[in-house]
Amino acid sequence: MIFRNYSLIAIVYVSTLLQLSCGSNQDKPVQKTNIESKEFKEKLIDANKMSVKRESDEIDQYVKRKGWDMIITGSGLRYMITQKGAGELAKTEQRVKLNFNVKLLDGTICYSSDSTGVYEFFIDKSSVETGLHEGVKYMHVGDKATMILPSHLAYGLIGDEKRIPPRASVLYELELLSVRQ
C-alpha cells in the first residue's frame, strides 16, 4: 500500500515536471521567434533599401548617358514630356487611350501599340502598373512622354512572367490620345 502511494506520488511528480518543462520550452521559442522575426524583417528592409538604391543609381546613370532631363517624383518615377499637346490634363478615374512602347533599359522592346493596338485603362482604377497610373496624370491629351518606372512601380519582384524579367526597370514611350469619363 505504501509502495502504491509512493508510485502514485512519483507519477504525479514526474508528470508535473514534464508539463512544466514542456510549457517553459514552448515559451522560449516563441520569444526567440519574435526576436528573430523582428531581426529578419529589419534585414529584409535593409536589403530592399539597398536594392532600391542600386536600381535608382542604375536608372540615373542610364538617364545621364542619354542626356535626358527627367523629373523625378517622390515614388521614384522619372518622366519627361517630349512633345506638348493642347488637350486636357488626364485625371483620376478617367479612361485614357494611349499609344505606347514598353522597353527594358537594354533596348529590348517588350510591348508596343504597333503590335497590340492602343492601350486603354481607367486611371487609379484599372489593374496596370502603379507607375503608369502616376505618370499618365502628368500628361495632357496630345502629349508624348518618356517615363522610366523602377521595378517597384512596374512589374516588381516577379516580372510579368512573359517578356519583362523580375526586378526590371521599364521604359515607357507614351502618347496620350484621349481622355473621357
Question: What is the signed CA dihedral for 87, 89, 90, 93, rounded to 10 degrees?
Answer: -120
Phi/psi of residue 119, each to 5°? -105, 130
CA separation (Å) from 1 to 6, 7, 92? Answer: 9, 10, 86
63 and 75 share a domain? no
87 and 6 share a domain? no
86 and 159 share a domain? yes
Of 67, 98, 113, which one is at a domain's C-terminal end? 67
152 and 74 share a domain? yes
What type of residue sits at position 119?
Y
163 and 80 share a domain? yes
Of 13, 32, 67, which one is at a domain's C-terminal end? 67
40 and 74 share a domain? no
13 and 44 share a domain? yes
Three-state SS for 156? coil
For residue range 50-73, what is the model confidence (pLDDT) as tens digits? 888 999 999 999 999 999 999 999
62 and 124 share a domain? no
Distance CA 101, CA 114 (A): 8
47 and 84 share a domain? no
79 and 147 share a domain? yes
For residue range 95-120, what is the model confidence (pLDDT) as tens digits? 999 999 999 999 999 999 999 999 99
For residue range 1-17, what is the model confidence (pLDDT) as tens digits? 444 455 556 565 556 65
Phi/psi of residue 97, each to 5°? -125, 130
Distance CA 2, CA 4 (A): 5
**Per-residue confidence (pLDDT) for residue 48, from 0 to 100:** 83
- The C-alpha cell at 99 is 499609344
Number of structural domains (the chain) is: 2
Residue 168 above 60 pLDDT? yes
Q: How confident is the model at residue 154 (pLDDT cuts 50, 70, 90)?
A: very high
Assign residue 92 the CATH number of its domain: 3.10.50.40
63 and 90 share a domain? no
Q: Pairing relation of β-strands 144-149 and 170-180?
A: antiparallel
Distance CA 94, CA 143 (A): 16
Of 17, 35, 67, which one is at a domain's C-terminal end? 67
Q: If you average pLDDT over residues 155-167, what whole number do you get?
A: 92
Residue 42 above 70 pLDDT? yes
Domain of residue 93, residue span: 70-180
22 and 83 share a domain? no
Q: How confident is the model at residue 23 (pLDDT cuts 50, 70, 90)?
A: low
Residue the block writes with cell 524579367: 165
How many residues make up the chain in this entry?
A: 181
Top pLDDT among 22 and 113 is at 113
